[in-house]
Amino acid sequence: MEQFAAVDMKVRIQNYWDRSANGYDNQFGHGIHSAGEKELWLDLLARYLPAGAGAKILDVGCGTGFLSLLAAEIGLDVTGIDFSEAMRSEGRRKAEAAGLKVNLLKGDAEAPDFPPGTFEAVISRHVMWTLPYPGRALRAWKDLLAPGGRVVVIDGVWTPRDFPGLVRSFVAHLIRRLKNFKRHSAWKKEYMRKKGDLPFFGGAEPETIEAFLEAAGFTDIRRNDMAAILDHERRFGTMEYRIAHAKNRRYLISGRKTA
């Protein structure tokens, strides 16, 4: 029964992102909106991804190719997987326009279908909160890594957990409605059917992700609070973005598969 519930949820998630692909990158914090922002992301990834040209990278939950295209630009051999065909199609369009080669395939983030040891790094961005079984996913990603390979998880705490944060979120929502924006309904209407369906729904504290990486057998766990990127987004984002994410916490956490 548990397995069927997870399958149903993944179908709903796929349908939601198929509908949301058009215009997804236009939202601040989703796409890249300036050369300066792009340089910050390239610098961040260069610290954690393999330095050798042609290293094989798997981008899990690649969406419209945000991380895939950045990794390809620094010379890595990138495969991305995502449930949503519409999101992957947008990623392919962007890659072609930029003259970059990426291989974007349909795939399940919790059970990527590749031989063990295929990749030198597995990366994900804003994916962990969408997974019914995040611990299972991390173990699967570890199996796909060659010895010494790294997992790189970029995620955050998305739902306000204090009164000032709830007020900021409400004000930002009102501004969006005044601007005639459609309400982003993935959180409650599309994902959750009952409490506990998604353990990291609303985001997870970085210490929680670190503990999950340790439980999956990763070592040399490192954290980066992405301060330069968050500062850029807050300075150049829309008014409602600056209000909603004034105290937003995002992070990059990586771990190594021991030889």
Question: Which CATH number is 46's domain given?
Answer: 3.40.50.150
Give the residue-averaged pLDDT of 109-137.
95
Q: What angle do CA 80, 109, 155 make, to 5 degrees?
A: 85
The reported pLDDT for the residue numbered 185 is 47
- The string of DSSP codes covering 31-42 is B--SHHHHHHHH
Instruction: Report how far apart, in Å, the C-alpha atoms of 55 and of each of 23, 51, 58, 140, 255 are.
Output: 31, 8, 10, 19, 17
Phi-psi region of 62 (alpha: psi -120 to 50; beta: other; left: phi over 0): alpha
The reported pLDDT for the residue numbered 201 is 84
Q: How far apart are the first and last CA of the chain?
A: 38
What CA–CA distance (Å, rounded) separates 204 from 48? 21
What CA–CA distance (Å, rounded) separates 237 from 245? 10
Q: Alpha helices of the chain — where are they, by DSSP H?
A: 2-20, 35-46, 66-73, 85-98, 134-144, 163-178, 206-215, 227-236, 239-244
Q: 191: closest CA among 65, 47, 9, 23?
A: 9
Read off the tokens for 2. Answer: 């548990």
DSSP state of 24: G
Q: Give me the chain's average pLDDT, please.
A: 83
Q: Residue 46: which domain range?
A: 2-256
The reported pLDDT for the residue numbered 1 is 43
The reported pLDDT for the residue numbered 159 is 72
What CA–CA distance (Å, rounded) separates 50 from 152? 11
Read off the tokens for 247. Answer: 């105290």
The reported pLDDT for the residue numbered 44 is 96
Q: Which of 2-11, 87-96, 212-221 comes out lowest in average pLDDT?
A: 2-11
Confidence of residue 187 (pLDDT cuts 50, 70, 90): very low
Angle between helices 134-144 and 206-215 (to 10 degrees): 60
- The number of domains in the chain is 1
pLDDT tens profile 18-42: 566 566 666 656 778 789 999 999 9
Claim: this prediction has a pTM higher than 0.75: yes
Q: Give the percent of the chain with pLDDT over 70.
A: 70
What CA–CA distance (Å, rounded) separates 170 from 18? 27
Query: 32 and 40 in contact (C-beta within 8 Å)?
Result: no
Between residues 68 and 130, the one the model is more confident about: 68
Give the residue-averaged pLDDT of 50-68.
93
Query: 58 and 114 in contact (C-beta within 8 Å)?
Result: yes
**Per-position b or e across 107-128, b if 16+ CB within 10 A of its CB:** bbbbebebeeebbbbbbbbbbb
SS3 134: helix
Residue with tokens 């729904």: 201
Work out whether strand 145-157 and strand 249-256 pair parallel, antiparallel, or are unpaired.
Answer: antiparallel
Confidence of residue 149 (pLDDT cuts 50, 70, 90): very high
Q: 138: closest CA among 55, 225, 208, 56?
A: 208
